Structure 1
């Protein structure tokens, strides 16, 4: 119509294309145009790319929608060093953006200001693929919680769900660290494609002292509300009433319920941010390529760890705490197999106080220690542990049983 002023050439999708130019002020509600097109106005210019459509709504809003789904480009699934580096950084960027979303939407000082949180991506087996540079003890232990959710919920997992837990005997650290696990499904096949997770230290989860860090606790229930695996959201709807009942349960419920729920919803929002970014990667590269490079990244970390193991030798170390509790560790290197064994045999039995460290915390410490001695720039992921066997004696201070107190075990 009269709003069309001219046609011009634009460069898009690698070539020059003819695009009509419209004056936005003269467009009527209901106006639609397929890209390429240019909409000009006094305050700016809108470019409608090919495969996109623009529509002017009744309220004057211009809505842009993709009219043709972006097809994954043709990339080989075989290892390419350039793409390996690209995917390393793209996966880490997803986790970093999750962290930014969590920081922006949370309300407690602990999460928003102190940034005591971590975000990460996992494969369908619950193996850590990439993370942002957040809290090391979270990053090495979250995989245990993710695997626990996958094992227990299995066939019940569905799009739009988020699961919550803080169980130290199920991959948790201590009770204030609450983990939210969100499965990500392939829209075309409805199969599980990835898992994203966030863990945040809530300011208070109940217990016998404010802040849920009692110095003299001897039972896990004295440290706060113990959350087994629970569905916190389904069909993208937050289960507020169920969460209120959960956080308000027990002998020592939480002290600031609304703050807990706000931070919990911020974690769910962060996970959704990660899920959207992963779906964007699939649109760009295809699901098979993204999955292939998740495997390549893990293998690359394992190769880097083998090179580090080649430089190590056997050793033993013991540390005695002031009450006589001992931590014993032996490093045994198999140079032929290029593997390492970290054996904590001889470590003292479960502590009567709260200095017990759950197995997931112990594994985190081993993973982080080995990661710091790797010479190359690799992301912290499960591949680092693929060539390391960790032996932790059961019923020990490094593998406590319910209802052992654990609040000081990772501090």
Structure 2
């Protein structure tokens, strides 16, 4: 049965949630006269549509709150332009206390029909909303030279330090210290009795303590590392550093939502809402290259506003499994759409919902034969579903699959009923507006200018008003603070929204390549960028691959490497790949030397060359500058079948590599700008592969993923400067090494060991073979020696490991550092 596992998860989630929700709704209704029997009551669903109280279910409402925000900004920010050009696509930026939700709108609500929430796969229509654990309550950590924000949250209780309940430092504290939150404009609701103002002094003391920790680390590095020049930080510099890292954390899902799908993020408008979004919107927009931020007059309650103006939606579908090019089958599918529209209309009428008009959106779920990845294609104006499918597939994946059948998996109709009450979005004319003069002047800290005077305004402002200097706009009723940063100009629209033009200044970073010191903030920011690029490579590979192994089981990894082949960032994919991929890259560097030319792509899977088991094929692409490699990108994927004794290429009783399939030590997959498909096909056929076409398609997908990584890295080097990027590639590895040294010293102290002492461990495999380890820790040097003397000798079966897979230690160091070469740096043999 197709998609049995996610369908099972969905059924379990619904069985858990719906009875609880039904009980709550029953109690809710009974609190009203006649239990609301003659009243239309509707609830928001995850797909952005309303449904009647009787039809509301748990699995369809998981993202109902964020979905309201998407409806809100789609109705208020997606507008015709004065020059007559089509509206600009909009990114929704909803920042709250514990997390930030980002989404995209370009004329229609973008739905996904399978998603993951808290590790559980849900098969139900949901708006495409990405959530990142970064909000006003995200905790601030300084870990071995890195500024880290979240994912832990201080929560509403005890909350940040400034809440007077003994909390920890959070993003809100950083904004308070920097003057981006004005305490006098906040209600006195803090402290044990909820009657005190924000505690500015406690926040200052906490940042003073953290700043001493940062400066102590800097001095230690200067004392112990040759050539290291320590920076001295002020509390404000530490706070702004954490704000910048928080901003970059929130930029990552936005880049994923746009760039990973083939859209240019710079062409979008950023619609900012949520309680904390206005404090960060200008910085986030500038980091992304976006020039326009729109803040709606109801930004503090835009999700609720969106629910209030949403339409009622009824969805019905039928399963199918037919060839699109079969005329009879296609005609039957089109007739199914008509039947479903009629059925949806009857369902809508049975709900008793008031509406003035309806429109039906008709979809076919199409996929290439032999793949599991389908696209829900809405009926185009010319009725050519297949043509639209091919165009969408090309845009998302960068290629199509010629001469492959297109399969219809499902017909679906989404009937939308426009409410008779209207949207309520029109502004009443007339009335008095707040004077344009500021109500106060305060001091706010910005990175380039330090503390500067800013004007404080209260909403609402007068239409047409222009704010061209650093300012803070406050809506005390909704608890919203909007920071207008230097080089930004805000205009109040006729609807009393705030439109902010962000001047995207040339990045000064590119002009500072010769700086001697290492900036921990820049290190943290670039660490996020490196990891984000590796993650986008992974998403590209997942979308473009054919096999279930990669697309569904997610058995792949993508990574960036410096010019020596040292691991810089490995997205959190398959753990066994973390330590071994850099060995594969370095093996090729040693083997090929100067014969590895620019534009050539290498394929390898041999254990002697840093491989794991043979189905894991690694594709490596170098990037050259001035005739020398500046960095490498690589992707490793578990291919469906590379030959051998059994389908899947993992025979349980193999004793040599030939029995497992194709073994490649080094093969130039792309040479002279040509993909050597003929030679690759020959190797697979000789090894006995049973799925040659699909394996070749997946390897092409790995090449495409590498190309995506190269394009994103080149953009980063263009903005930051190549020398700076390479410098921080090395430095982030050094930081990882320092983290391991700290961990080893901590273990030595906690176990009461001597300055140089050993601990022992022993275990046995299922077949009785012994694994024996003597671990000698040198506390002064922060090093460890792993001695496996006494371990059983190698045996002649398939239960063998390889050195490359044993060189990664990630469980006992900060998560931000678990995918760096420095954590497995060797000082001996």
Report if TM-score (shorter chain) is over 0.5: yes
Within 5 Å, give how 1:1-400 maps onto structure 2: 40-44=83-87, 73-75=510-512, 76=515, 78-186=517-625, 189-250=626-687, 253-313=688-748, 314-363=758-807, 367=808, 370-375=809-814, 377-386=816-825
Question: Shift of residue 182 of structure 1?
Answer: 0.4
Contact persistence 1:71–1:283 (CA under 8 A): no
Contact persistence 2:564–2:586 (CA under 8 A): yes
Question: Shift of residue 173 of structure 1?
Answer: 0.5
Question: Shift of residue 376 of structure 1?
Answer: 6.5
Matches of 2:815 and 2:615 in 1, distance apart?
A: 34
Matches of 2:551 and 2:595 in 1, distance apart?
A: 32
Contact persistence 1:167–1:228 (CA under 8 A): yes
Structure with the largest fraction of helix: 2
| Structure 1 residues 179 and 77: CA distance shift in structure 2, 3 A | farther
Contact persistence 1:305–1:374 (CA under 8 A): yes
The structure showing larger relative contact order (alpha-carbon pairs under 8 Å, at least 6 residues apart) is 1
Matches of 1:71 and 1:163 in 2, distance apart?
A: 36
Alignment partner, residue 28 of structure 1:
none
Contact persistence 2:507–2:720 (CA under 8 A): no
Question: Shift of residue 219 of structure 1?
Answer: 1.3
Matches of 1:83 and 1:148 in 2, distance apart?
A: 31
Contact persistence 1:96–1:132 (CA under 8 A): yes
Alignment partner, residue 23 of structure 1:
none
Matches of 2:828 and 2:557 in 1, distance apart?
A: 24
Question: Shift of residue 93 of structure 1?
Answer: 0.7
Please give the secondary structure, in 2, of the residue aligned with 1:195.
Answer: strand
Ranges in structure 1 where 5+ consecutive residues have no aligned partner: 1-37, 49-68, 392-411
Contact persistence 1:342–1:389 (CA under 8 A): no
| Structure 1 residues 390 and 256: CA distance shift in structure 2, 3 A | farther
| Structure 1 residues 324 and 42: CA distance shift in structure 2, 3 A | closer
Contact persistence 1:319–1:328 (CA under 8 A): yes
Contact persistence 2:588–2:609 (CA under 8 A): no
Question: Shift of residue 72 of structure 1?
Answer: 6.7
TM-score of the superposed pair, with normalisation by structure 1: 0.75
| Structure 1 residues 337 and 42: CA distance shift in structure 2, 3 A | closer
Matches of 2:782 and 2:815 in 1, distance apart?
A: 17
Alignment partner, residue 503 of structure 2:
none
Contact persistence 2:669–2:675 (CA under 8 A): yes
TM-score of the superposed pair, with normalisation by structure 2: 0.38
Contact persistence 1:182–1:195 (CA under 8 A): yes
Contact persistence 1:216–1:354 (CA under 8 A): yes
Contact persistence 1:77–1:292 (CA under 8 A): no
Matches of 1:39 and 1:241 in 2, distance apart?
A: 55
Contact persistence 1:88–1:379 (CA under 8 A): no
Please give the secondary structure, in 1, of the residue aligned with 2:811.
Answer: helix
Contact persistence 2:771–2:791 (CA under 8 A): yes
Question: Shift of residue 379 of structure 1?
Answer: 4.3
Contact persistence 2:655–2:798 (CA under 8 A): yes
Contact persistence 1:72–1:282 (CA under 8 A): no
Matches of 1:389 and 1:210 in 2, distance apart?
A: 42
Higher-Rg structure is 2
Question: Shift of residue 311 of structure 1?
Answer: 1.5
Which piece of structure 1 moves more, 108-117 or 323-332?
323-332
Counting matched residue pairs gives 325
Contact persistence 1:117–1:134 (CA under 8 A): yes
Alignment partner, residue 23 of structure 2:
none
Structural RMSD (CA): 2.3
Question: Shift of residue 71 of structure 1?
Answer: 9.4
Matches of 1:121 and 1:359 in 2, distance apart?
A: 20
| Structure 1 residues 45 and 201: CA distance shift in structure 2, 3 A | closer
Contact persistence 2:616–2:636 (CA under 8 A): yes
Matches of 2:686 and 2:522 in 1, distance apart?
A: 49
Contact persistence 1:119–1:198 (CA under 8 A): yes
Please give the secondary structure, in 1, of the residue aligned with 2:817.
Answer: coil
Matches of 1:39 and 1:77 in 2, distance apart?
A: 49
Question: Shift of residue 198 of structure 1?
Answer: 0.4
Please give the secondary structure, in 1, of the residue aligned with 2:635.
Answer: strand
Question: Shift of residue 340 of structure 1?
Answer: 0.7
